Structure 1
Amino acid sequence: MPGGPRPPRSYLDRAQSPTAPTAMDLEAMRAAAWHRHGVAALAVEDIADPWLRQAVINEARRRWGPRNGGQRHGR
């Protein structure tokens, strides 16, 4: 429940900490987002066609602004 009390803390919490998702986990999450919600999550670096890659970058910048960090490609 949002805003509810937090569960009690325990020294066992460290043993059950979540691990980072693998590449296969991320790909499965992307597929699920597409099938369930119609949302395509694409890594820009994975788009081979330069024209399409730039179109995706331009649309992302238009919607959400420039990226913070990452590669600057000549800037």
Structure 2
Amino acid sequence: MRLPDAPRPPRSCLDLARSPTSALDLDAMRAAAWHRHGVVALSVEDIADPWLRQAIANEANRRWGRRDGGTRHGR
């Protein structure tokens, strides 16, 4: 039970009572990151153009190294 003027408990990503973030919420967070901070968050699998998808993957690999997961395309 919570008292009327009591502070809310702290939020945590470990709070298992919360439902997972929906695709619509994720898209809203991506839009906010772009508009507020100039940061783009794209899923490589969502990029339809194969040349552009590979160019973005190459840049991410150059900056942060190869991913541990995902498909390896024959490797």
Using the size of structure 2 for normalisation, the TM-score is 0.75
**Which runs of at least 4 in structure 1 moved beyond 2 Å after TM superposition?**
none
| Identity level (%) | 73
Runs of 5+ in structure 1 lacking a partner? 1-6, 8-12
In the alignment of these two chains, the number of paired residues is 62
Structure 2 spans left out of the alignment, 5+ residues: 1-8, 10-14
More helix per residue:
1
Q: Pairwise CA RMSD of aligned residues?
A: 1.7
Determine the structure 1 residue equivalent to 2:23: 23
Within 5 A, what are the aligned runs for 1:26-37?
A: 26-37=26-37
TM-score w.r.t. length of structure 1: 0.75
